Amino acid sequence: MTYPNPSTENTPANPHDAGPPLWLLAELTYRCPLQCPYCSNPLDFAQTERELTTEEWVSVLRQGRKMGAAQLGFSGGEPLVRQDLPELIAEARNLGYYTNLITSGLGLTETKVDAFAEAGLDHIQVSFQASDPELNNAVAGSRKAFDQKLAMARAVKEAGYPMVLNFVIHRHNIHQMNDIMTLCERLEADYVELATCQYYGWAFENREGLMPSKAQLVQAEHEVNEYRKRLQDSGSAMKLIFVTPDYYEERPKACMNGWGNLFLTVAPDGTALPCHSARLLPIDFPNVRDMELQRIWYDSPGFNHYRGDSWMPEPCRSCDEKEKDFGGCRCQAYLLTGNADNADPVCSKSEYHDRILAARRAADHATAGLTGLVYRNADNSRLFFRS
């Protein structure tokens, strides 16, 4: 493949000397047959009307690749809803992307698994809600989800793909850690992501009903470590990745490795975002329908908004750790303090840190079951943009 030299007159300004977006996340659609109450899609997703067309996506993929993107995720919603998925996979692979499909497994068939391999898909990630059908289906809001997921995980392995199994962990399934890891081993997963909820989107609405207590978390961490040791001793290549909730930390995570630094998300309607939840911020983000990706990434006010550190107020401004965590997550700062410029309140130096402490205390005493959660579906979504 040849890379045309971008002519200098068309090269957009790059005031922060940003590097290229090495990861591109293509959120093909917000449509999804499941209703996970921790879904990271926006609360008002049902308001999204015009999805990008096949041609528009192909153009995004080409532009991204030319800028240096190498990892590509197809996600959603449920990306399988898009009928043009095989075409997009083939195009992406042809361009030289490493292509990842992130799916709930619903709508997948053995024929599709094979057709995608033919088109050049590199990897499939299947998400589960729990290690048993009852809990899985209750969380997913679908009666047939679990069996379908099992069948598809087997089909993915059968077709020779590397397989990542993803479990979102919360207070209602965190006691299943051992069962989950055993199930993954039986399904011959190559990687297992045990990702405790991050509280944006629907998960923020449901935080009280989802957040595990400290005691639950400590127990889970212990179980994962023991299991990891066992895998190592038996020479297994299965890799366990346990993402713990930052609500139990005293310093925030370096969100997305820095704003507009490595990750570029394109939402179903073409809105370009520095991370998939940034849509909730009161910032105008450009759309790939109106602007070239190069200009969006290097030169748009949205993407330059939180680059560098001149935007930081105290305590971040004079903090010697700001290069390490960039002040944490802008979305979390916004959701918890009402101002996205503030330090992420996970930080113990933040004047709003007590809000994190309050959430921890609440998690110690929460008693509500699954039925108290707001499920992610079009009816509930409409409530958020009508009000």
Residue numbers of the site for other proteins (CB under 8 A)? Answer: 3, 20, 22, 67-68, 70-71, 73, 96, 98, 100, 122-123, 125, 160-162, 164, 190-191, 237, 239
Question: What CA–CA distance (Å, rounded) separates 118 from 111?
Answer: 11
By CB under 6 A, name the one of 66, 123, 154, 349 that touches ligand SF4: 349
DSSP string, 324-347: HHTTS-HHHHHHHHS-TTSPPTTS
Which of these segments, 27-35, 58-66, 189-197, 258-266, binds ligand SF4 (CB under 6 A)? 27-35
- Smaller CB separation from ligand SF4, 41 or 198: 41
Residue 333: contacted member of other proteins, ligand SF4, none (CB under 5 to 8 Å, by partner type)? none
Beta bridge partners of 273: 265
Residue 283: contacted member of other proteins, ligand SF4, none (CB under 5 to 8 Å, by partner type)? none
Work out whether 34 is an interface residue with ligand SF4 (CB under 6 A).
yes
- Note the helical H segments in 172-266: 177-186, 201-205, 207-210, 214-233
CB environment 219-233: b (16+ within 10 A), e (fewer) = ebeebbeebbeebee
- Smaller CB separation from ligand SF4, 303 or 326: 326
Question: What CA–CA distance (Å, rounded) separates 249 from 213?
Answer: 13
Going along 173-305, which residue ranges are E strands?
A: 191-196, 239-243, 263-266, 272-273
Residue 160: contacted member of ligand SF4, other proteins, none (CB under 5 to 8 Å, by partner type)? other proteins
Q: Which of 169, 252, 170 is nearest to 211 (CA)?
A: 170
Residue 22: contacted member of other proteins, ligand SF4, none (CB under 5 to 8 Å, by partner type)? other proteins
Q: What's the count of helices (H) and strands (E) in the chain, helices before strands?
A: 15, 9
- Smaller CB separation from other proteins, 67 or 264: 67
Q: Which of 92, 46, 42, 53 is nearest to 285 (CA)?
A: 42
Residue 39: contacted member of ligand SF4, other proteins, none (CB under 5 to 8 Å, by partner type)? ligand SF4
Question: What CA–CA distance (Å, rounded) separates 258 from 307?
Answer: 8
Q: Count residues near ligand SF4 (CB under 6 A).
A: 26
Binding mask 122-151 for ligand SF4 (x = CB under 6 A): -----x------------------------
Residue 133: contacted member of ligand SF4, other proteins, none (CB under 5 to 8 Å, by partner type)? none
> If DSSP codes are grouped into helix, strand and coil, which group holds residue 352?
coil
Which of these segments, 7-15, 275-283, 320-328, 366-374, binds ligand SF4 (CB under 6 A)? 320-328
By CB under 6 A, name the one of 121, 325, 340, 363 that touches ligand SF4: 325
Residue 100: contacted member of ligand SF4, other proteins, none (CB under 5 to 8 Å, by partner type)? other proteins
Question: What CA–CA distance (Å, rounded) separates 251 from 346?
Answer: 6
Residue 321: contacted member of ligand SF4, other proteins, none (CB under 5 to 8 Å, by partner type)? ligand SF4
Contacts with ligand SF4 in 51-80 (CB under 6 A)?
76-78
Question: What CA–CA distance (Å, rounded) separates 302 from 90?
Answer: 31
Binding mask 276-315 for ligand SF4 (x = CB under 6 A): ---------------------------------------x
Which of these segments, 6-14, 66-74, 209-217, 341-349, binds ligand SF4 (CB under 6 A)? 341-349
By CB under 6 A, name the one of 32, 61, 108, 150 that touches ligand SF4: 32
3-state helix, strand, coil in the chain (%, to 5): 45, 10, 45
Q: For residue 342, count CB atoms less than 10 angstroms from its CB and return exposed for 0-12, middle for 13-18, buried for 19 or more.
A: buried
Question: 10 Å Cβ neighbour count for 302?
Answer: 18
Q: What minimum distance in Å lies between the beta carbon of 237 and other proteins? A: 5
Walk across the sheet containing 23-27 and list its strands: 239-243, 191-196, 163-169, 123-128, 98-103, 71-75, 23-27, 263-266, 272-273
By CB under 6 A, name the one of 93, 154, 228, 251 that touches ligand SF4: 251
- Which whole-number Å values give the CA distances from 386 to 110, 205, 293, 370, 379, in the listed order? 40, 16, 32, 25, 11
Contact set with ligand SF4 (CB under 6 A): 32, 34-36, 39, 41, 76-78, 104, 127, 251-252, 315-316, 319, 321-322, 325, 327-328, 343-344, 347, 349, 376
